[in-house]
Structure formats: C-alpha cells, structure tokens
Amino acid sequence: MPSLPFLLFSLLFLFPVSHSIPEYFENCRYIKFECGEISIGYPFSGGLRESECGHTGLELQCDGDTDTATATIEIHGVKYKVMDIQQKRQTLRIAREDFLKDSLCRPQTPIQDSIIDLELFDLAPGYSNVTLFYDCPSSSSSVPSSLACNGSDYHNVSIITVIDDFRVEGCSANVTFPISWGRFSFYDREDPDFLQFLREALETGFEVKWKEDTQACRSCTASGGACGFNINNQTSCFCPFGFQNWIESPNQCLRPVAESKSKLKQNLFIGLAVAVTIAIVLVSAVYFLVLRCKGKSLSDHLCQGKIKDNAGIESFIKKFGSPAPRRYSYREIKKMTNKFDNKLGQGGYGTVYKGKLSEGRLVAVKILDGSKGNGEDFMNEVASISRTSHVNIVTLLGFCFEKSKRALVYEFMSHGSLDRFIYDRDLHHQICRLELKTLYDITLDIARGLEYLHQGCNKRILHFDIKPHNILLDENFCPKISDFGLSKLCERKESAISMTCARGTIGYIAPEMVCRSFGGVSYKSDVYSYGMMVLEIVGGRKNVDVEVSQTSEVYFPSWIYKHLDRSMNRDLSGEIIDEEDIKRKLIIVGLWCIQSYPSDRPSMAEVLEMLQGDLQSLVIPPRPFASSPVRSPKTYTKTSS
C-alpha cells in the first residue's frame, strides 16, 4: 500500500489547483455592487464585491451618502457618473463628472479625452464625437463663434463636430468626447437652443457596450459556479465546496467523484495510475456514501412527531451534510421580508415573498399556510431538499418552525418561474417567450436535476409536481427544480409505491396516479410530468388551461403529434442544425415520456441520452390516445447496424 506522503504528492499532479476559493465563490455569486439605484454583479466589482469578481476596468465606486449616493467609474483617467446599467444589453450609460459639476468651461486638469477603452468597450450606435477647443487664437478665422467662459481658467470655448471641416491650431487645450447625435447637426451654433441641447446631452451621457465572454460565464453559472476574473482579466470560474475546475473544463465546476475514468487517466503519470486511481475512487466513494446516506430519513422523524421545534430539525439536518440550512426565528423572517411587503407568488401550500438577508443577499421566503393539513408539505420539503446538492435543484438556505408558523428560505431566482417564458398566448404574467435553443438547454438541465433526484443513494426522491410553475430560472436562465411539498422519499429498490391519493397538478398527473390499471406509481410518474411540460414548451400552449375552456380543442398530445407528422419528410443530418430539428427532438422525447404505461416510458437517464444523442437515431413514438391506450414497444432509439 503506498504511503500517505506518496499519495498526497501524486494527487498534486492528478488534480489541477481549483479556483474554488470559498470566499470568492460566496462573494462573487451572491454579493452585488449596490449604490443608489444601481445594483449589478458580474462583470463588475466594487463596494462589497471583491476585486476578483470583476474586470479591473469595470471597478465601480459609490460616492456620497445613502440617500444621494451615485455610482462612478474611471476609464483612462476620466471619472464618469454611472447613469444606468443594462445587464441584458451589456450597456453602460455614463457622463463626464467634470462637465456635470462645473460645466463646459471647467474640464478636469490635466485635460483628458473621453477615449473609450476599445479592448473593453464599444461605443453604442447613435453617438458621435464632439471636440471642445479652449482659448483658440483670434487669427483662426475658420473657428465658429466662441462661448464666453467667465470665472474660469479659460476665456472661451469653441465646439467642433465631426461634420465640421476645421483645422484648429494654437489653442490652449482641447478635449473630445461622444455625444448623442439626435438633432445636433440641425442646430445653428449661435442658436441659444443649441447650448441648451448640448447641456442636456451632457447630462444624459452616452452609452458604451462592454465586451464579455458570455459563453464562459454561462457555462460556469450553469455548473453551479460564480463568474469572476483571473490576473489576466480572463473569465474565471469560482466553485463551491466539493467542486473544482479541471484542465479540460476551466469554466465549469465538477465533482471529482463524477469524473470519468478516461479523464482521470489523462492526468495520471505512467507507473502511478493503478495505486492513485484506486485510492481516489475509494476515498470519493466513501465520502459520497456518507454525505448522501447518513442517518435515518428526516421525514420519518418528522412524521412520527419526534421533531417539534427549530432546534430538533436543525440538529437532525446536520446529519445529512454540510453546510446545513440555517435556523431562523419568525421575527427574523418578518425582518428579512420587510413584514411581507413584496409578494412574488402564490402556491397551493403558501405564499412566496422576496427578502434580503443581513449581509445583503436576496432570498425567496415561502410562508406555508398553517391551515393546510398537519404540515406534511413542510416536512416533505425539508426532508427532501436537505438531501440534495445539485446545480439544477433550488438551494434551501434556512427554515423556521415555531408552533403553527413555518417558513422556508431559498436562494432568490431573479427570472422567476419558467411558465412566464414559454406560452405564445398573452398571459397576464408573461414577460416574453425565450428562444428555442435556450428552451432546449433548459429542458436538458431540468432532466439532469430530475435524474439526480431519481438516482438517489438508497432512496429516491419523487417530486410529483413537475410543471413550468415549479421550475425557477436564475439570472442566466439556468433552471432549478423547486417546490418539494408533494415529494416522497422511497427506497431505491422499490419498483412502485403505495399512494392514498393522487399527487400533482391537473394536466401533469400521470395516468397511474388516478387509475391503477395503468401500473404502479413510481419515479416514472415524474417522467410523465416532465414529458408533458416539454410538449408545452414546444407547443407554446398549456395542456389544460383552467382559465380558458379547452372543450373544443384537439387533445393536446395529438395536436403536438401533428407537428411531428409535418416534419417527417425533412432531410436530417443527424445533428441539431436549426429550430425545426430542435422541435422534432423535443416532441419525440416528450411523447415517449407521456406513454400511458409507466414501463413504456424512459428513465430520466435515458431521456438525457435521447436529448444529447443524434436526432436521426430516435424512434418515433406511437401516436397517443386520449383514452383506451394501446401498449407500445419500449424502443426509444434505433440500433446501429
């Protein structure tokens, strides 16, 4: 057996140094620069955000008191007031501070042009350069009439635009900066309205678009990491505890135990391979089993009445891993939600409010309805979600359990629920429909989250309420499965579980939940709900809409199947090359998932293979029927000849 020093020395070569410095991950992931009306995270730093969280050229400062604070940024020695930041458009509207405070006659000293850092910014369309010339000699007859500067270091200032054909020499100073073009060229320089327009344009500022490696950051956040920058000002990915970067995936956070043998072999030296690989696999397996399987089921203890307060829940949750959700008093819950003044949504088991922790992190707080049964939904959520740690499962940060008052504190998801982005019909809560490629990525990530819940250790977590409303999206549209109020823990070896009543939402409930002749209730019930949700994403409409009568409409899966029929004669290359191919792949997978008999549906692991595999290899599922279903062959993909 190799000695411990020998193994440690070998590990230095096996695994690259991780960028997952804990304080950088926490800071860059959750802390934003806050100043006045400006609130922004990546790619900026400043305030409470560490310098590693932002590009060195995008460091913000906050000037003034809380009520009158203004955000500023320095670019090439010029200080600008930050008027507005648009994260989605990647635009920054800024205005020169010296002109705002002291007018055109008192530029900062020494005079600096507003030269935009072309490596970091692009000037937005609609702007053009203007040059101010100070104290030009009177012999320069081509210079337009000057504006008098009283009580300044300069006597007069002349304004030259890019359309002016002037060559000015011998002036004391000059400064060039962008200005919104608008009606600028139509003004006579002698017109008093021209000066007013110029002042307004200076106060409005100009827009620049910052350059950012969006793909690298999206990849990082989708894997559970936090975006930042390294010393070379390149996007870096800081990972949480238990994850690390790999040479092959520098912008992703991966679990060491999840790495394939092929990747490990790439990092092994010949001669150390066998000993080190065995050691790593053994240690990782033990760690994984302890983390996932330690202790008796929390739900059993809750249901038996053995845990009756915050302290009891907290002490037991710690057995499932670290860090454990924090315990909050109801008084703290009221404070973080500002006495429940910002309602985010209403569910069947409670109301969700927006809140903020003392350190400034935004959270979502679910206040459970005490009149709903004996609190089984609360027990299910805490018992189930405390066992999870996955980028596509919402994180439980804390809880409150004081007599009849129960609350759950989750990470805040800025884009809300998926149902706001998938339906074509104008809904009162709809924002916009996402691009199909983005929706495809979302369905893929949801499948990963569900597969994680189902694969378990010695217990599976069955969700029983998969639907767009329970899929939350973060700032990068990375989806996370939420709302475990109807979930159930079951032994992995169990092929079916007993149910006293149907669980779920109309339109997403699997047939076996209401009619046992279709088969036993199992994790395949979640597969059915997932499939129906995928078909809704493709179809852009609800399967069953309680707000609109559906009696005259075609059975939803049959309606979806017609779209598949229309695309049957298209030439396929075996790859997803356009939106029609993406639609077809999602329809095929969705229709397989909603097969009437559970045994005919794929597992979530098989769903992932189908989504990530070639479209050409997928077998078309049998046509669905609203009643009296016909058994289908369990063949999802074509076998290669």
Query: Rounded CA gap, 148 and 146, in Å?
Result: 6
**Chain centre to alpha carbon of residue 164:** 48
Q: Which residues contact 385 (CB under 8 A, 6 or more apart)?
A: 393, 394, 396, 484
166-167-173 Cα angle (round to 5): 110
Query: Rounded CA gap, 176 and 640, in Å?
Result: 66
450: left (phi over 0), alpha (psi -120 to 50) or beta: alpha
- Listing DSSP states for 446-490 in one string gives HHHHHHHHHH-SSEEEE-S--SGGGEEE-TT--EEE---TT-EEE
DSSP H or E stretch at residue 249: strand 249-254
* Residue reference for tokens 């100009």: 206
- Percent helix, strand and coil across the chain, each rounded to 5? 35, 20, 45
Q: Which residue type, as a one-letter code, is found at position 491?
A: E
Active-site residue, from 98, 445, 465, 483: 465
Query: Rounded CA gap, 463 and 471, in Å?
Result: 12
135: left (phi over 0), alpha (psi -120 to 50) or beta: left
On the 0-12 / 13-18 / 19+ scale of CB atoms within 10 A, 267 is middle
Query: Rounded CA gap, 359 and 339, in Å?
Result: 18
Give, in order, the Cα–Cα distances in Å from 449 to each of 187, 296, 301, 340, 466.
60, 23, 26, 30, 11
Q: Which residues contact 501 (CB under 8 A, 6 or more apart)?
A: none
Give, in order, the Cα–Cα distances in Å from 486 to each of 30, 387, 502.
29, 16, 10
488, 462 contact by CB (below 8 A) = yes
What 3-state class would DSSP assign to 34?
A: strand
Q: Give the CB-side neighbour count of residue 297, counting CA atoms within 13 A.
A: 19
Q: Give the CB-side neighbour count of residue 186, counting CA atoms within 13 A.
A: 5
Catalytic (active site) residue 465: yes
Which of the residues are catalytic? 465
